[in-house]
Structure 1
Amino acid sequence: MGKGGALSDGVVKKIMLSYMYVAIWIFLSFTVIVYNKYILDRKLYNWPFPISLTMIHMAFCSSLAFAAVRVFRLVEPAALSRRVYLSSVVPIGALYALSLWLSNSAYIYLSVSFIQMLKALMPVAVYSIGILLKKDAYKSTTMSNMLAISVGVAIAAYGEAKYDSWGVFLQLGAVVFEATRLVMIQILLTSKGINLNPITSLYYVAPSCFLFLSIPWLIVEFPLLRQQTAAFHFDFLIFGTNCLCAFALNLAVFLLVGKTSALTMNVAGVVKDWLLIAFSWSVIKDTVTPVNLIGYGLAFMGVAYYNHSKFQALKAKEAQKKPAAAADEEAAKLITEREGDGKKGDSQA
């Protein structure tokens, strides 16, 4: 096989690996969402303690990450000073704690399908917070797109058969905190050249997330759990497999973004949302109304257009880099040739 054939094989392999990363992330994300819903829903497993569940996840992830970094030395820790940790990682851990707490709490009050529809507001929140923190520039076309997504989600909410205002408030709060976390990662870590791999991310972020969650847990859930200690039997199989899924999902997120891009994850997220809506309607028997689908369809088109715009912007940026790289390469070649000519002249003299 010639050089072109070998290149084609490499491209095909890269595409297949990308699809595999996407499939793994969709499967794990799907599994964690449905599993959390099963545990927290009062009509199913009936353990409505979202802070406790999130803390169990964080403790499990922290333990495995600590073992990988400090015990087995599978991964080298990042070179983070105490000041950088306190000023950059701890705020991200706090935002992550709030996001997980509120999003898990929403499963007690809302259906899986409606929660996925509300999550379509994530690009709106990320863009709006990016503007407020001066990370993104205001563009009227992009803001119009954000408005279309918001209108679509509002229509979906209007058509929701089991609408719960408190549940919507919790999920919207989770979206805001998660969007803020994503923007802060760019500002506090990426801009400083700090890149954490999946294990080190959990090693640094999960413990701070656990500590922040312990404050509301002591006030809100601990008194209730103490009352139910005699009646509740901790199922190690249920919670153990749930924690393993959560840990694997955290790894899959970083793997997907690291091996593909954040844009690929956004597109895969849309596919996952449709699958969850279909699963929620067909298996869990949640009510999905035509107005729900019309509203989410409009929001979906807005998100798809937003992802397309981001993709075009990335292509344009890459196209600008290529001529610059080619010019630098040509300049280096000319310098090398001139140096060679100079040395030849010196030897002739």
Structure 2
Amino acid sequence: MGKGASSLSEGVMKKILLSYAYVGIWIFLSFTVIVYNKYILDRKMYNWPFPISLTMIHMAFCSSLAYLLVRVLKLVEPVAMSRELYISSVVPIGALYSLSLWFSNSAYIYLSVSFIQMLKALMPVAVYSIGVLFKKDTFKTDTMVNMVSISVGVAIAAYGEARFDSWGVILQLGAVAFEATRLVLIQILLTSKGITLNPITSLYYVAPCCLGFLFIPWIIVEFPVLKQNSSFHLDFVIFGTNSLCAFALNLAVFLLVGKTSALTMNVAGVVKDWLLIAFSWSVIKDTVTPVNLVGYGLAFLGVAYYNHSKLQALKAKEAQKKAAQADEEAGRLLQEREGEGSGRRTESQG
């Protein structure tokens, strides 16, 4: 008995430690990509303010590596994807992903890392609102009140922002809206059809699509400026390691969600945001005002309550599923016993 309990506790402890390891890896890589992108794009740091070009470099790198893993090395099996399904499902998702990445990277030129993380607290609000709009989620008054409290907190944080830039805020809010729509469309267009993409197959199908969509604004907006700036030479160490970090982050997301849950990533995201705010204030020397912290604190409480509500809903759904399985098992056993009893009565009559 003691040995069984010991092995059980060891197994549980191993799972907990692995979960913390997945969370730690994801936080580290997400943290690294955000700070690295800020370093490259900020005019006061590396001073390469070309967000479309940076996003295209990421997508080209990820497309090439995904193709190598899927088609050349055959380490990952491709998904059965018809041309019609690709055009109707993957293309819209790729378009939204390209816009989300372009706008979010552009925001780093105008806003501090800390303030961007505060604005990202609006993601649950955007996902829930768009989910209700597309009828993937049901409208609930208490959930909407929660969403309003998060929005109020972010508004207070914005009011107290020392480096407030209207254009930067519009870009970041646009990025949140595009990303939230993309997440809802993944559920509608892919998950509902029974198609699940891991990060390698996701990049294999989506990254080239993103590259194509980004090429049009790049030709119009950034290519003429880069052409004039002939003295610039691409630093393969900087951009290579930056792209590798972006690719690794995609793998870390799959690892975290696949081995734990999307809810765990949401909770870990809150921890990452606080760490980034602290890093932005202490290392990058961004100004973080008391009003910023009060506003984000309110938004943080709203997000924490939202995550708690989702966890309770998941537990209730799991309990209901187990109860239904138990009822089904009990019904089956009862039928078997009734069948045995009927057989015995027939034998005794004979």
TM, length-normalised to structure 2: 0.95
Residues 165-198 of structure 1 show CA distances to partners (whole Å, capped at 9, x for unaligned) of 0000000000000000111111111111111112
Task: List aligned pairs for 1:271-286, cutoff 5 A.
Answer: 271-286=271-286
Q: Match for residue 259 of structure 1?
A: 259
Distance in 2 between the 1:336 and 1:16 partners? 44
Q: Match for residue 179 of structure 1?
A: 180
Q: Match for residue 75 of structure 1?
A: 76
Residues 226-268 of structure 1 show CA distances to partners (whole Å, capped at 9, x for unaligned) of 111x211211110010000000001111211111111111100
Distance in 2 between the 1:344 and 1:97 partners? 70
Q: Match for residue 295 of structure 1?
A: 295
Amino acid aligned to 1:247: F
Contact 1:151 1:299 (8 Å CA) reproduced: yes
Q: Match for residue 269 of structure 1?
A: 269
Amino acid aligned to 2:135: K
Q: Match for residue 170 of structure 1?
A: 171
Q: Match for residue 240 of structure 1?
A: 240
Distance in 2 between the 1:259 and 1:211 partners? 32
Q: CA deviation at 1:139?
A: 0.8
Q: Identity over aligned residues, as a percent?
A: 78
Task: List aligned pairs for 1:58-137, cutoff 5 A.
Answer: 58-137=59-138
Q: Match for residue 146 of structure 1?
A: 147
Q: Give the match's secondary structure for 1:151.
A: helix
Contact 1:65 1:199 (8 Å CA) reproduced: yes
Q: Which moved more, 1:197-206 or 1:337-346?
A: 337-346
Q: Match for residue 40 of structure 2?
A: 39
Task: List aligned pairs for 1:4-19, cutoff 5 A.
Answer: 4-19=5-20
Q: Match for residue 324 of structure 2?
A: 324
Distance in 1 between the 2:211 and 2:300 partners? 34
Q: CA deviation at 1:103?
A: 0.1
Residues 177-226 of structure 1 show CA distances to partners (whole Å, capped at 9, x for unaligned) of 00001111111111111111121111111111111111111111111111
Q: Give the match's secondary structure for 1:278.
A: helix
Distance in 1 between the 2:336 and 2:82 partners? 41
Q: Which moved more, 1:79-88 or 1:326-335?
A: 326-335
Q: CA deviation at 1:341?
A: 7.0
Q: Give the match's secondary structure for 1:189.
A: helix
Q: Match for residue 159 of structure 2?
A: 158
Amino acid aligned to 1:262: A
Residue ranges of structure 2 left out of the alignment (5+ in a row): none
Distance in 2 between the 1:94 and 1:86 partners? 11
Amino acid aligned to 1:318: E
Distance in 1 between the 2:137 and 2:319 partners? 21
Residue ranges of structure 1 left out of the alignment (5+ in a row): none
| Count of residue correspondences | 348
Amino acid aligned to 1:39: I
Amino acid aligned to 1:258: G
Distance in 2 between the 1:129 and 1:224 partners? 36
Distance in 2 between the 1:346 and 1:37 partners? 82
2:229 is aligned with 1:214: no
Q: CA separation of 1:296/1:331 partners in 2, compared to 1, >3 Å: closer, same or farther? A: same
Amino acid aligned to 1:251: L
Q: CA separation of 1:206/1:339 partners in 2, compared to 1, >3 Å: closer, same or farther? A: farther
Distance in 1 between the 2:42 and 2:293 partners? 24
Amino acid aligned to 1:269: G
Q: Give the match's secondary structure for 1:65.
A: helix
Q: Match for residue 311 of structure 1?
A: 311
TM, length-normalised to structure 1: 0.96
Q: CA separation of 1:137/1:4 partners in 2, compared to 1, >3 Å: closer, same or farther? A: same
Amino acid aligned to 2:226: L
Distance in 2 between the 1:346 and 1:65 partners? 66
Contact 1:94 1:212 (8 Å CA) reproduced: yes
Amino acid aligned to 2:269: G
Q: CA deviation at 1:332?
A: 3.5
Q: CA separation of 1:63/1:320 partners in 2, compared to 1, >3 Å: closer, same or farther? A: same
Amino acid aligned to 2:95: A
Residues 109-165 of structure 1 show CA distances to partners (whole Å, capped at 9, x for unaligned) of 000000000000001101111111111111111111111111111111011001100
Residues 64-113 of structure 1 show CA distances to partners (whole Å, capped at 9, x for unaligned) of 11111100110111112111111111111111000000000000000000
Amino acid aligned to 1:331: G
Q: CA separation of 1:345/1:165 partners in 2, compared to 1, >3 Å: closer, same or farther? A: same
Residues 245-292 of structure 1 show CA distances to partners (whole Å, capped at 9, x for unaligned) of 000001111211111111111100000000000000000000000010
Q: CA deviation at 1:45?
A: 0.3
Q: Give the match's secondary structure for 1:92.
A: helix
Distance in 1 between the 2:85 and 2:154 partners? 38
CA RMSD of aligned residues (A): 1.7
Q: Give the match's secondary structure for 1:2.
A: helix
Q: Match for residue 226 of structure 1?
A: 227
Contact 1:198 1:255 (8 Å CA) reproduced: no
Distance in 1 between the 2:211 and 2:19 partners? 32
Q: CA deviation at 1:10?
A: 1.6
Q: CA deviation at 1:333?
A: 3.6
